[in-house]
Amino acid sequence: MDADIDERRSRRSRRTPRERGERDATGLPWRSTSLIAVAVVVGTGFAARNQFDREALDAAGRGLLLLGAVLLLFRHRRPVAVVFAVAAVTLGYLAAGYPYGPVFVLVAVACFAAVVHGHRTAAWWAVGLLWAGHLLLAHWLHRWLPPAGDGAAPWGQELPAAAVAVAVLAASEAVRGRREQGAQRRAERVAAERRRADAERLRIARELHDVLAHSISVINVQAGVGLALLDSDPEQARSALTTIKAASKEALGEVRQVLDTLRAPGDAPRTPAPGLAHLPELVEQAAAAGLAVTVSTSGTPDVLPPGADLAAFRILQEALTNVVRHSGSRTARIQIQHGSGRLDLTVDDDGPATGTEAGGSGNGLAGMRERAGALGGSIEAGARPSGGFRVRAVLPLRSEATP
């Protein structure tokens, strides 16, 4: 549906303002064609006053001029047929001995339309046949055609005529080239907008996955604890329900923050995005799910760019969520190493893997790799030689304003 709308908009944008304003409900360029017809008929009438050696412009001659103009009504629908038909009408007009003049404007407009619509070969053929026909009429067949007693035309007039024809075709090619470049730029803008929209949808999907996966994992574990202890230890069950309430409230807040960016794109978020400053809260949530987490930091902490700060938090969040879901270990270790222009994150657990269905989407590791890759970093995830599982992320700390 969106692609169809974009295509219709693209087609409308490729039409020139003149084309958009000159066509009525029939889709034919009545306005411009009427102006051309009037200009050709009136202009030929003035030109005929000084051409005493040609036939007088009578009703038949004006009819041929009007016929050529009427054919131009269909120059956008049938450009090839129109350019050949107009060339034939013009050649018939010249064969009848009528005065030279703006009649060649009809051919120029038809050729322009054919070239602009991508039929340059047809336009060149039509002009070439018209020029060849004119040579036959002016230099060999003139003695059998009106006006009576007409002599051969001078050869010197043929070169300027050919130059004008080539100039018309060259101008048509130039306009066509500009239109194609404009259409290409518009197509590139549409493609870029689609890529940005896809990237934004991916970002939002990743955010929602990370928020919901962690919070629902905590809720799932605590719900199991609450159900198991509901009769034997009501106080512990109440504590589990309290944790569920807190986790769900926090999840709703983060989901609302993500959805607010959809409702009002471009507006500043109402709450700051989470970062490593929120790591103690993440550790508390993991503890509420029964996972003891230790955090060690080395190196000199730098002020992290917002994108890297958010990515680091989400990677740690997803790694801890995977431990809660898939590991039999109830402990995890986070190591944060600040280096020169980079941040190393390591999350270890001692395993073993539970092998049970955790109810996840299976996109956690893929999401972490996408976050790290977006910053030019990398993710390594796999079993440790001594047992358990390790997730290691390396994030460059380039400024987000740096190209």
Domains in the chain with CATH codes = 2-153 (no CATH), 192-396 (3.30.565.10)
Q: Quick count: other Cβ atoms within 10 Å of Cβ 341?
A: 9
State residue 18's pLDDT score: 47
Give the strand pairing for 292-298 and 331-339. parallel
Mean pLDDT of the chain: 80
* Per-residue confidence band for 3, with pLDDT thresholds at 50, 70 and 90: very low
Read off the pLDDT of each residue in 25-32 and give the average, rounded to a whole number: 83
Least confident range from 3-12, 47-56, 214-223, 302-311: namely: 3-12
Residue 40 has pLDDT above 70, yes or no: yes
Residue 21 has pLDDT above 60, yes or no: no
Residue given tokens 């450009």 in the structure block: 79
Q: Quick count: other Cβ atoms within 10 Å of Cβ 201?
A: 11
What are the φ and ψ backbone dihedral angles of 2, each rounded to 5 degrees?
-65, -40
Whether the CB-CB separation of 56 and 80 falls below 8 Å is answered with no
Residue given tokens 């803008």 in the structure block: 189
* Per-residue confidence band for 5, with pLDDT thresholds at 50, 70 and 90: very low
pTM of this structure: 0.48
State residue 177's pLDDT score: 82
* Per-residue confidence band for 2, with pLDDT thresholds at 50, 70 and 90: very low
Higher pLDDT, 272 or 197: 197
State residue 401's pLDDT score: 40
Residues 118-137: tens digit of each pLDDT: 898 999 899 888 888 888 88
Residue 102 has pLDDT above 70, yes or no: yes
Residue 24 has pLDDT above 70, yes or no: no
Least confident range from 144-153, 172-181, 362-371: namely: 144-153
State residue 151's pLDDT score: 62
17 SS3 class: helix
Residues 65-90: tens digit of each pLDDT: 999 999 999 999 999 999 999 999 99
- CB burial class (10 A; 0-12, 13-18, 19+) of residue 360? middle
Whether the CB-CB separation of 334 and 391 falls below 8 Å is answered with no
Higher pLDDT, 253 or 345: 345
Residues 184-215: tens digit of each pLDDT: 888 888 888 888 878 777 777 777 777 677 67
Q: ω before 102 within 30° of 0 (cis)?
A: no
**HSE value, Cβ hemisphere, 13 Å, CA-based, for 155:** 1
The Cα 369–Cα 365 span in angstroms is 6
